[in-house]
Structure 1
Amino acid sequence: MEITLNGHHTLIVAALVMLAGHWLVFRIRFLSAFNIPEPVAGGLLAAFIITLLNAATGLTLRLDTDLQTTFMLMFFASIGLSADFTRLKEGGKPLVMLLALVSVFIVVQNAIGVGLAALLGLKPLIGLVVGSITLTGGHGTAGAWGPVLEAKYGIAGATTLGIATATFGLVFGGLIGGPVARHLIRKQKRAPLPQTHARTGIDAISGSPRHEQAGANEEDKRLTFELFDQPRLITAYAAIETLAMFAACLSSADLLGRWTHGTAVELPTFIWALASGVVIRNVLTHVFHFQMFDRAIDVLGNTSLSLFLAIALVSLRLWELADLAGPVSIILAVQVVTIMLYATYITYHFMGSDYDAAVVAAGHCGFGLGATPTAIANMQAVTDRFGPSYKAYLVVPLVGAFFVDLVNAAILQVFTQIPFFQ
């Protein structure tokens, strides 16, 4: 038996899932401690309920995919519209170095995923799902690539596997960052701050002294969708203006996708949406000196991602993962060990082998397996105990929030075009 919901009903279900997720995260400490997004918490609960109903009655639920696709494209357009390349200059050499290190690690992450998948008798492209698609990319990238891998490459259950793997990454990204940083700091013989100093002198969110943080540039501390409750003052005109840019990104993505279909430069539509956002942002900002309203972009992008995730999770078919559980667990275990070693011996060394580098290594563990808020939580745990790190709090959010998505999209496109992996 299959129940099909139209667009209106799909939106209602997504809203209910998000409300349920909000209640779960508020009530269950584990979920809030590991930065599990509210739509993921509520969506997984709904997916488990539907799985039980399927086992008992054969029920399946099909939601409006057009609405899901629109929200997904809006999210990736928001990443592009946020990618002002002048911020590379603000971060300086440390930001460029971290972006280079992260780019190399994405290749390593995918090589491990693809190689182990082949050795374990799985399709090599499944290794990308248990690679940077989900671990570096997170839930948004997992949900975007899943349908592409299913429809174009025949990877059954790619979306379901991607969401499950991305959730695993959030949890373990939060577990390993602190221990990695403490190991590195212990080698430096740096003493922790007195507890009263750590609690009163260091801000809980940014790790910066509160008197200096007050005058800091607010936009430099913007996070991603999981912390969408931050205050943002948006006017109706700013919202309409921003929606017009989103519409331009989606229209451009649709046209480019149609024009390049079947050619050597064919790309998934969401990558065109992201690229269109990058072009629109930097042309408007640097050619026409247009003042972008980043808060409006954040709110609309974050809302779109939350609704997209809620719809995607309710549509999951968890029963499709049974045969993959064992091999995937092995690959994920190797991925966790790999990023711990990479952050300890590569990220730490090339970022300067000092205290700031140790905090950056903790952040890399966070967004290399999970998401930017996981990276921030890792760094906060370290700086609350050992003192602030201004460099880490500048470069990690800039790389993790949007630059890494640009690089990840390009690298994944290269991997999917290699004949061996298909």
Structure 2
Amino acid sequence: MHDSFQGVIAFALLALMLWLGSLLRNRIPLLRMSLVPASIVGGVLGFALLSFDVLPGYSPGDFTTLTFHFFTLSFMSLCLTGRAPKSDQLGGGSIVRGGLWMTLAWSISLGLQGVIGYLMITGYDAFTGSDISGWLGAIVTHGFTQGPGQALTYGSIWENEYGVANAAQVGLIYASLGFLMAFVVGIPVARRYLKKGLNANQASRLDASFRQGFYAADNDGEVTSPTMGRMVSHPGNLDSLAYHLGLLAVAYVLTHLWLTFMQGVIGNASPYGIQMNVLFSHNLFFLHGLGVCVLMRMVIDRLGFSHRVDDETLKRITGSSVDFMVVGTLMSIQFAVLYALLLPVLLVSVAVTAASLIGCVLIGRMSGKLGYERVVTSFGCCCGSTGTGLLLLRMMDADFSTSVPKELAFFNLAIVLVNLPILMVFAPIVPSLTGGSYLLIFGGSALFFTACLPLMWFWSRRGASPLSSAWKSSTRVPAIGAASSKPRFSKGAAS
């Protein structure tokens, strides 16, 4: 039994780092005032402990697999979450339209970040005389816009199939730096919006509980805090949390069976040089799992069993998975690789962060109502993952009362569909391309989606007709405590 504890204790160490991170965030004034999440604090602490060999018997590699699966769980649980009633949402508007604005911001970043990373490393080699592979710059887009799961996925493929040394580790480093950049830059931006009262959900504010990281007790010792959801199954039969984990387990098994079946069907087929076995490998489990969960939710709703699924419980599973994923990502970094490539990696990360912030702010301002929420959410998604975007959105919309969380769910499906050629065809085989071909494909993708912005803006303005505005105002729930005189966007279009 002794051997079975290696993985279990690794998971326990992740949980311990989260617990310690929450205590440090609560006790240290600098961390408390900066609003750094416990997952970042705990992850940095865990990275330091591993780097100084304070956790004997464990290395960064012990946390890589856990990180991958927590990332997958966060995606799949989000896609199992249903659509909230419009009466429960602030801001109204079209979820599809709002989701498409964020989809454009992310799609532009996907191509632009890859181009910036490749050119930065190529230029660094020319300036310093070093011999770093340009693909170690290109993988930044998978670490930033897609997070540790895809960075590890594509990095492993590039490393194992095409011999790009340290691609997986560098991808994880970019993902970790992406999380840090998202919070170092994104939190001050969100805090600025909160101080000005620009968020639609005025119930979200910088109160004592937000800063402390814990809900405070009243004079009688009772803690007043939001509930975590409703019970679906009777505890005498099955605990409700176990029931919802079982739903995710069904999705996991179905995805595994699908991939196993397709691997047997396609074999070693490679039409047009595209290795189909790579596209249906378990390294892309999250992508296929996303589709499985969307279909499962459609079937559940169509058969009238939506009352058997509690969306709040699924949101808690998503949030917990994101926390574990972030701390695991930081603890998966190998110090030696980070040290050897520190300067070029930092240069790429800073350039990509600046470009992403400018793009998200401009596109968010174009999107109209709830644009401030979309700025921080899009920036989080472009510098970390969907989970990072949710964490930043949670600052401005703590109870997810706006329509932006559901826009984010639509966004997760839309980015896969509109970027299918990039994600499913080109990304896994990038090292087989020439540098010119890579720049043409990824740069051309960014230019194409940039050209779509004026069309999207025109469509949004057409949606803001007097008739549609009157209908939306009659069905919209006012923001709690919102000041009606405070302007949102001077030229706001329908979201």
Is the structural similarity TM-score above 0.5? yes
| Distance apart, 1:232 and its partner CA | 0.5
Summarize the Cα distance change of 1:290–1:357 in structure 2 as closer, same or farther, 3 Å threshold.
closer
Number of residue pairs aligned between Structure 1 and Structure 2: 369
Q: Partners in 2 of 1:38 and 1:320 — Cα distance?
A: 25
Summarize the Cα distance change of 1:232–1:181 in structure 2 as closer, same or farther, 3 Å threshold.
closer
Question: 1 or 2, which has the higher helix percentage?
Answer: 1
Q: How does 1:164-183 map to 2 (within 5 A)?
A: 164-174=176-186, 177=189
Summarize the Cα distance change of 1:159–1:97 in structure 2 as closer, same or farther, 3 Å threshold.
closer
CA contact (8 A) 2:145 2:381 kept: yes
Match of 1:368 in 2: 382
- Note the alpha carbon deviations across 1:288-333, whole angstroms, 9 max, x for none: 5533311222223333343444444434312211222111222222
Give the superposed CA RMSD. Answer: 4.3
Task: Report the more deviating stretch, 154-163 or 250-259.
Answer: 154-163
Summarize the Cα distance change of 1:83–1:319 in structure 2 as closer, same or farther, 3 Å threshold.
farther
Where structure 1 has 5 or more consecutive residues not aligned to the other structure, the ranges are 183-191, 207-228, 381-391
Matched residue of 1:203: which SS?
A: coil
- Note the alpha carbon deviations across 1:20-50, whole angstroms, 9 max, x for none: 1111222234545555442332122121122
CA contact (8 A) 2:154 2:428 kept: no
Q: How does 1:259-278 map to 2 (within 5 A)?
A: 259-261=261-263, 262-263=268-269, 264=276, 265-267=279-281, 268-278=284-294
Q: Partners in 1 of 2:192 and 2:205 — Cα distance?
A: 20
Q: Which amino acid aligns with 2:428?
A: T
Summarize the Cα distance change of 1:359–1:280 in structure 2 as closer, same or farther, 3 Å threshold.
closer
| Distance apart, 1:149 and its partner CA | 5.1
Matched residue of 2:114: which SS?
A: helix
Summarize the Cα distance change of 1:300–1:257 in structure 2 as closer, same or farther, 3 Å threshold.
same
Q: Partners in 2 of 1:318 and 1:80 — Cα distance?
A: 35
CA contact (8 A) 1:84 1:281 kept: no
Q: How does 1:11-26 map to 2 (within 5 A)?
A: 11-26=11-26
Match of 1:203 in 2: 203
Match of 1:231 in 2: 227
Match of 1:99 in 2: 103
Q: Partners in 2 of 1:299 and 1:179 — Cα distance?
A: 23
Match of 2:81 in 1: 82
Q: Partners in 1 of 2:21 and 2:94 — Cα distance?
A: 37
Q: Partners in 2 of 1:232 and 1:169 — Cα distance?
A: 30
Q: Partners in 2 of 1:302 and 1:125 — Cα distance?
A: 32
Q: How does 1:146-185 map to 2 (within 5 A)?
A: 147=156, 150-153=159-162, 154-156=164-166, 157-158=169-170, 160-174=172-186, 177=189
Q: How does 1:22-421 map to 2 (within 5 A)?
A: 22-32=22-32, 36-53=36-53, 60=59, 63=62, 69-82=68-81, 90-121=94-125, 122-131=132-141, 133-138=142-147, 142=151, 147=156, 150-153=159-162, 154-156=164-166, 157-158=169-170, 160-174=172-186, 177=189, 202-205=202-205, 231-235=227-231, 236=235, 237=238, 238-261=240-263, 262-263=268-269, 264=276, 265-267=279-281, 268-291=284-307, 292-349=309-366, 351-352=367-368, 357=371, 360-370=374-384, 371-373=388-390, 375-376=392-393, 394-400=402-408, 403-404=411-412, 407=415, 410=420, 411-413=422-424, 414-418=426-430, 419-420=432-433
CA contact (8 A) 2:25 2:31 kept: yes
Q: Partners in 2 of 1:71 and 1:340 — Cα distance?
A: 27
Task: Report the more deviating stretch, 96-105 or 59-68.
Answer: 59-68
Sequence identity percentage = 17
Where structure 2 has 5 or more consecutive residues not aligned to the other structure, the ranges are 87-91, 126-131, 207-224, 270-275, 439-495
| Distance apart, 1:15 and its partner CA | 2.2
Q: Partners in 2 of 1:35 and 1:404 — Cα distance?
A: 26
Q: Which amino acid aligns with 1:270?
A: F
Match of 1:6 in 2: 6
Q: Which amino acid aligns with 2:179?
A: T
Q: Which amino acid aligns with 1:258?
A: T
Q: Partners in 1 of 2:81 and 2:191 — Cα distance?
A: 32
- Note the alpha carbon deviations across 1:237-286, whole angstroms, 9 max, x for none: 43233222211221122223333445524251222222211221122223
CA contact (8 A) 2:47 2:333 kept: yes
